[in-house]
Structure 1
Amino acid sequence: MADQEEDDLQMALRMSLQQAPDPKRSKPRESLASSPAVGSWEKPQMDGHPLENSQVAGKSLEKSHVDGIYQEESPESRNRRVQRELMAAAAEKRMMVARNLKEEEVSVRRESVVPENPRIETVRKSDEGLALSNEDAHQLYYMVFGTSVSKDILAQWCNQGIRFSTDPETCMGLVQHEGGPCGVLAAIQAFVLRNLLFYPDESSSYKSNMQHQHNFGLRRFLQIPHDRPDNVTSLSENEKARALVLSMVEILFLCGSKKQAAIATLNVLSNNSEEICKSDEKIAKALEGLSMESASDLQKAVRIHPYTSQKAAVQRVKEMLPVFQSRMGAMLFLISALLSRGLEAIQSDRDDPGLPLVTAPFGHASQEIVNLLLCGQAVPNVFDGSMDLGGGMSLKGIPTSVEVGFLTLLESLNFCKVGHYLKCPKWPIWVIGSESHYTVLFALDVNVQEENKLEERESRIRKAFDSQDQSGGGGFISSEAFQQVLRETNISIPPEKLEALCNSGFIVWNEFWQVLLQLDESSGGLKDSTGLMGRRQFDLYHFNGIAKSVQNSGSLQGSGGEALQQRPRLSKIRVTVPPKWTPEEFMSDMVGPSSSSGSNVCDGVAEVTQPDPPQHAPLVDCVRTWWPRAVCNWVGDPPSIV
């Protein structure tokens, strides 16, 4: 259609440039002598633009040359020519506007190429945004809240900002004061931690050796004892704000298939928004009386800013960050994510589009919202790919690998099975789902997801041994078969031990296993140079953003003589994963000095100690969906996932 319009404009312009046809003669040729002299007739008067009038009037004085005789132009011919010239002038203007729009479109396409290292830079400010149509506003509102929603649920979603905790011990986390939007906050929190831990430089680029480097801000903060007064200095406000802005924009472009994003702002802030956004008090005053009790309220309140350039979107979110930190922040971000994906695409992602995305009766974010923010699609399930039910029916799951993952207590209760995509994300960060809340679990070491190398080797050796076992599972093979196993697994056993194993003519697995445990890895054995007998130990951190009463020094005294303070909770968890061939009873009987840390490493030599007695909390059940034999320990109150 655009091409046809441009062709029409070109044709109109060509017609205007053609020479006017000869005017019709109203008198015979012999009467030409009585015609008025050249230029003796008056200049025609026309209304319109001064420039157009002058151009048309100037041309109206032209004469036609017929057989060498100048003749005055007839009124009919002059009117046709003036009409063509006016149409041509209008066509020229329209073509100029179209050309300018095309140049701007090319500029936007060039700008829309997301740079590898997005930075917060100054870009051209966009307009006041687009208003939602009446149809889109109603579809969006009922998609989120359904046909009926309680005032309590609306209050939860319209009174939750996206802002960091002011508590020194949890300053790296987003604080939640209302129930409901925890799914949105937890997903953003996971990406914020990814940026703080693994993308510490301003360009947010990942270098190949980054996994061996440290983000000395957050990492040092997490490793300093929390009773130290200087732990908050490790994270600056600028670092946190940068991580938050980049995380929000990344999620929105993820929802937009990495091609586009929509940023929702408030109409009440459209006028003089820069001045209002300088103060939280001014924003709060501007939002007084603002409600979202109906689709019409949503349509009046929200403006949409579409972007194809990640750089421009980063600048917009940076400018509007105080608005997202206001009481409407979580709601605006959810609207932004849904519109970035597209309302029709959202409904297509879902198995049951008739259900609201915010679940009743407590107003929690559905799994579809969490999946949308983690993988870019509002699918309702956590398994990989899709599940064919036959008869043309299928269930939709996670389509591809993700940056940050998801674990859920419901898997430990056998209600679902989290697939590889969510369970094994690129970075060791997981949103944790319980029956009523979402929290975040993360590690500083990117290697926590790697398989136990000794377990892998043990599996290969056992597979080779079993392939030669002709006893029907009795666990022994012949000496000739044993030589074949040694060749396949590249195991070199000292002659005296090999002779002892083969004395009876048959080799029993348990005896072979004891030799392997004492044989160095260089010889193909399973002797653990760390002294941990194949077990793994690492630390996980759990963050619960909802503000709860915790003990702290202060003026408000609790029953134990200590103050109760409303703040989020950050817990450090020591995880010990014994190898699958070692019973936990054997691990608890290991000889070594008592220590609460499990093991200490000094000058590269591991000192094996007795592990602490295992502790249990619902979070441990979530951890064991990834590490089935994990034993967890912590100091103080157990970590809470509710």
Structure 2
Amino acid sequence: MKAVVAVLDTGIVMSEDAVREEEQDEVINQKLEGISFNSALELERYLRICTFTSMSSLLQQLNTLLPIFRSRVGALLFLFSALLSRGLEAIQADRDDPGQSLVTSPFGHASQEIVNLLICGHAVPEVFDGNMDVGGGMTVKGIPSKVEVGFLTLLEAFKYCTVGQFLKRPKWPIWVVGSESHYTVLFALQNNIQDENELEDRERRIRQAFDAHDQSGGGGFIVASSVRQLLHDMDIIMPMDMLESLCANEFVVWNELWQALHQIDKSKGGLKSADSTGGVKQFELYHFNGIAKTVGNGSSVQQRPRLTKLRVSVPPKWTPEEYMMDYKPSASANDATGGSMGVDTQKSVKEEPAQHAPIVDCIRTRWERASCNWVGDAPSIV
């Protein structure tokens, strides 16, 4: 391994008495008050680069440098460290348009390339899985492989993009959440919230294969000529009359294929099963917004970051008939299926009507038709 850490050579010597974080931060902030970073040239005077080839020595040094990374220049040093660790030549090779700025003006927002670099180690510009050949010898780069921490975005709820399965289903139940102007964090304490039954796993893999043929940038359709290859790759035996009907037009959208697969028994590679709808899934998510918000505390008002617990309920998957009717399961139907956390589902539906905020739209890009509840003010993603 090779890691590069950008630090400031400011001559700061931490007092042995400054053992608490607050005391360490105060020492750093006082020292930085007299230093100007109004230009790149001024910053360059103090910038120093440290290279590590050992994980243990890297972690030891980072632990020592935590106070400076918590300071007003910490985010910039962290970005420099990530860019240099990847390598500037590799960064430019990752990008589709190396001429564009990695930080957008005028507010200094991180580009998607920076977000992807921090999540997957590659400064690629897109959020779908893998690369996409758009013709003319041009390839658009997405997320190359599975990641440990995922990404969800409000822009997908607005139909501006489609986040791939690599980012939606990370190794750990932690997601960076992007809005139009800010990033927050969504996470769970239980990793099993991402568990799938056999048919859910099968549907996910078929959708991944479908997306691999989707050259529209996440539009949700493929050319009809690609359907046969997809069926072959996924070992799906589709009756000829159904296949001809499905491919009657030039393009096939995912919903059409999905409905057709629910008419094919799972023994033939389809999604038809007597118990394919499963039960209501209920779990808890936590949302953290690091920007200080006004919080009422009795007679006083405070400015502080906010952590919100969300109770999430995901109803059974649609059957094709329910999909056509925009079906919404009744409270009695939900109660019959039970919940994965042992929650009384009927009580949840009747006594806790679903609440809405933009974070719910983001959650629904991962769990369709999810409903959420929380106590107090709505969680904010801005």
Question: TM-score category by the smaller chain?
Answer: 0.7 to 0.9
SS in 2 for 1:416: coil
Question: 2:267 aligned with 1:526, yes or no?
Answer: no
Cα distance in 2 for residues equivalent to 1:634 and 1:417: 27
Paired residue for 2:170?
425
Shift of the alpha carbon at 1:309?
A: 0.8
Paired residue for 1:359?
104
One of 617, 627, 630 as aligned partner of 2:370? 630
Question: 2:38 aligned with 1:293, yes or no?
Answer: yes
Shift of the alpha carbon at 1:526?
A: 3.3
RMSD between aligned residues = 3.6
Paired residue for 1:304?
49
Structure 1 pair 344–599 and aligned structure 2 pair: CA distance change class (3 A): closer
Paired residue for 1:536?
281
What is the TM-score normalised by the length of structure 1? 0.44
Question: 2:9 aligned with 1:267, yes or no?
Answer: yes
Structure 1 pair 329–488 and aligned structure 2 pair: CA distance change class (3 A): closer
% of aligned pairs identical?
Answer: 56
Shift of the alpha carbon at 1:403?
A: 0.4
**Superimposed CA distance per residue, residues 79-113 of structure 1 (whole angstroms, 9 cap, x where no aligned partner):** xxxxxxxxxxxxxxxxxxxxxxxxxxxxxxxxxxx
Structure 1 pair 300–623 and aligned structure 2 pair: CA distance change class (3 A): same
Deviation larger for 271-280 or 334-343: 271-280
Paired residue for 2:310?
573
Paired residue for 1:639?
379
**Superimposed CA distance per residue, residues 476-500 of structure 1 (whole angstroms, 9 cap, x where no aligned partner):** xxxxxxxxx99969xxxxxxxxxxx
Q: Does the aligned pair in 1 maintain the 2:128–2:163 contact within 8 Å?
A: yes
Cα distance in 2 for residues equivalent to 1:374 and 1:325: 20
Structure 1 pair 394–550 and aligned structure 2 pair: CA distance change class (3 A): same
Q: Does the aligned pair in 2 maintain the 1:432–1:439 contact within 8 Å?
A: yes
**Superimposed CA distance per residue, residues 286-333 of structure 1 (whole angstroms, 9 cap, x where no aligned partner):** 212323222211210111111111111111111222222222221211
What is the TM-score normalised by the length of structure 2? 0.72
Q: Does the aligned pair in 2 maintain the 1:598–1:610 contact within 8 Å?
A: no
Shift of the alpha carbon at 1:469?
A: 10
**Superimposed CA distance per residue, residues 514-550 of structure 1 (whole angstroms, 9 cap, x where no aligned partner):** xx9xxxxxxxx5399xxxx722111111111111101
Paired residue for 2:232?
none
Structure 1 pair 399–607 and aligned structure 2 pair: CA distance change class (3 A): closer
Q: Which runs of 5 or more structure 2 residues have no equivalent in the other structure? A: 205-234, 246-263
Cα distance in 2 for residues equivalent to 1:427 and 1:383: 19
**Higher strand residue share:** 2
One of 367, 374, 378 as aligned partner of 2:119? 374
Structure 1 pair 527–276 and aligned structure 2 pair: CA distance change class (3 A): closer
Q: What count of residue pairs does the alignment treat as equivalent?
A: 317
Shift of the alpha carbon at 1:435?
A: 0.6
Paired residue for 1:588?
331
- Structure 1 letter corresponding to 2:303: Q
Cα distance in 1 for residues equivalent to 2:81 and 2:148: 20
Q: Does the aligned pair in 2 maintain the 1:600–1:607 contact within 8 Å?
A: no
SS in 1 for 2:33: coil
**Superimposed CA distance per residue, residues 46-104 of structure 1 (whole angstroms, 9 cap, x where no aligned partner):** xxxxxxxxxxxxxxxxxxxxxxxxxxxxxxxxxxxxxxxxxxxxxxxxxxxxxxxxxxx
Cα distance in 2 for residues equivalent to 1:418 and 1:585: 25
Shift of the alpha carbon at 1:613?
A: 2.3
Paired residue for 1:601?
342
1:155-554 counterparts in 2 under 5 A? 259-269=1-11, 272=13, 279-453=24-198, 526=275, 534-553=279-298
**Superimposed CA distance per residue, residues 316-367 of structure 1 (whole angstroms, 9 cap, x where no aligned partner):** 1112222222222212111111111122222222222222222112221111
SS in 1 for 2:127: coil
Q: Does the aligned pair in 2 maintain the 1:458–1:526 contact within 8 Å?
A: no
Cα distance in 2 for residues equivalent to 1:336 and 1:288: 23
